[in-house]
Structures are given as structure tokens and as C-alpha cells.
Structure 1
Amino acid sequence: MNSIKKIMIMMEDIEYGFLNKKGQNIFLDENIEDIFSNEYYLMSPKELLSKKVGVCWDQVELERKLFEDINIPTKTYFICIDDKEKLLSHTFLVYFKNNKVYWFEHSWAQEKGIHKYKNLQELLLNVKFKFIKSHKNEIKSPSKVNIYKYDKPKFNISCSEFYNYIYTQEKIVL
């Protein structure tokens, strides 16, 4: 079995969500957006491996580390709707191997897997299409969906600090 498939198998131990200080997964609460905004912080890969519960933001940082450990080049992306009332977003990791580009996806259940593309533009357009389709009731205008390429952030930053960091990164024009 190749090392990339081993990473996906390792990620299967990680559940989607975020544990509050009481150890409860806040994603089971109906007021998730308010709670998440106030309680979330970006976990380190080590903390995520210990807690085994994290959102896509946390999972991508673990994936980044695991790919670095096997010397496979990656880029990380943040897709979001530019709407101050909703926190619709997703982060994902892209890796490059044998002149192909791959979307490595664990946290987005409907898209979980390793997806191969001819080039990065095709990949990003496909992720954007799927993101819009999966949030068709919340996204009023596809033009308000943006993608940012971002470098490794600091750990233990809050939700708003993470967003502020992302907005300093490279906005992708497709």
C-alpha cells in the first residue's frame, strides 16, 4: 500500500467536529455557528491526533504535516462564501505527483477520497462547483464564493483570527 493511501487510512480515525472544554462535540448543538465562533481554536496536528475530533481546518494541518513527512509537495486552499452572516467555508489539501494534481479530501464526507486532475485550475473549478452545489440553498450568488491559497497558519488561533489570516493570503482568480 502506498504512503498516501496510508495517510487516508490514518485520517479515518479522525471524526469531524470540535470538542469544547467539557469534551463535547459542539457540532451536535443547534447553535453551532455562535458556539464555533466563540470556542474554536486551530489545533496542532499533535493535539488533533490526541483528540481525534477536528474540523477541516484542523484536519488539513495534520494532512500537511503527514505529506511533509513523506516529502510530497502540497498546497492548501480555503473556499468560502463572502457573507458576513454565514460561516460557510472549507479547507482542502492538494498534492502533486507524477505530473498530476490531486485533491486529498477526508473531512468533507460527500467528497471523501483522492481525486486526480490534469491541472490545478481544473481541480479548483471542480471543488468550487461542488462547494456551490452542496450549499445551493445558502449561496445566493456563485460570484461571492472565493478561494484562497494559504500557507501554514499559527496554531491556537481563534476562528476570527483564522479568517483574518486567510484574507491576507493569495486570492485565486478562476
Structure 2
Amino acid sequence: MLFAPDTEVALRSVVNLINTAANGEDSLRTPADLDAFLDAEEFTGTRAGNEAELRSVKRLRSLLASLWSADESTAAKTVNQLLTEARALPQLVKHDHWDWHLHATMPEAPLADRMGTEAAMAIIDVIRSKEMDRMRVCAADDCDAVVLDLSRNRSKRYCDTGNCANRAHVAAYRARKAASAE
């Protein structure tokens, strides 16, 4: 395990949130879409379920996406901004089926603040561990989705949003076959 379990869950949620806007397609078009996303990510706390909340989460999504190409110093500044704006105060909690983990906002805080704080807390571990290179963009030429590489050998290059890895492997296979046929 590279990071604490709650950190890995939060980082995967950040990737999933960012990738809701991958390749020019926005899958968070309505408050209902956001609600379904939050249910899938098992995100707890209050929800307004309105357009303003959706807009704030989309702004957060853009800010988090910028971290995938940021240097360490810029990422740290962004993380600190997120924590300050949310007035984060970390607390150790245990609820539902989750064991002890950190919450840094109250469950009643605005959704974007809670999501941003959770993301920031996870990215703190990435920065402190000097593992920013695990935050990548998909290696497929026609994909802009982000990738979180938690593999031991740092080999994950393709996203999980589509068939990018499969398409790249098939293209490489065909290129090898064509080269050997000549």
C-alpha cells in the first residue's frame, strides 16, 4: 500500500471527478448527475441538490484538474487555498462501513468545500511523499483523462474511462505485424 486507505479512496474520487469532463464530454450536466456521482463515490454529508452546488463542484473539478500538471509548489499552494477557504479542521471519524479516517469539515459544510478539502487532504500525502509523478494524463493521443498510478512499478499509463490501453496495444501489435510482414 502506497498511501493510507482513505487517501487512496479520496484520490480515486478526485480522478473520477476530473474524468467526468474528459475528452470534451461532461457527465455532470444536472444536479441529478452530481447526485448519482456522489452516491457512486459513497460521498457523505448534506447535499443541496441544486444548480449552484453543481456549478461549485464543476469549479472545484477544474481546480483539481490543474493539479495534474502542476509542479509541487503550485500544488501545495492550491491545496492550502482549498483548506483555508473551507476553514478545515481535521477530525478523526468512524461512520457507516468506514473505519477511522479524517474529515476536515463538518458534514453540513457546502459540498464543494467538503469535496475540495477531502481532495486537498489526500493530495497533501502525495506531495509529502514526493509522489506527484503518479498523477498523470492518459498516454493515449486522443484522450485527456487523468490517471492515478498506484502500481508498484509506476507502469500505469492509460486511464480507466474507455479503451485507451486496449486501443494502444492493438495498434502496437498491428504495427509490429506490419513491420515483420515487410
TM-score, normalised to structure 1's length? 0.32
Rg comparison, structure with higher value: 2
TM-score, normalised to structure 2's length? 0.31
Looking at secondary structure, tell me which structure has more strand per residue.
1
Looking at secondary structure, tell me which structure has more helix per residue.
2
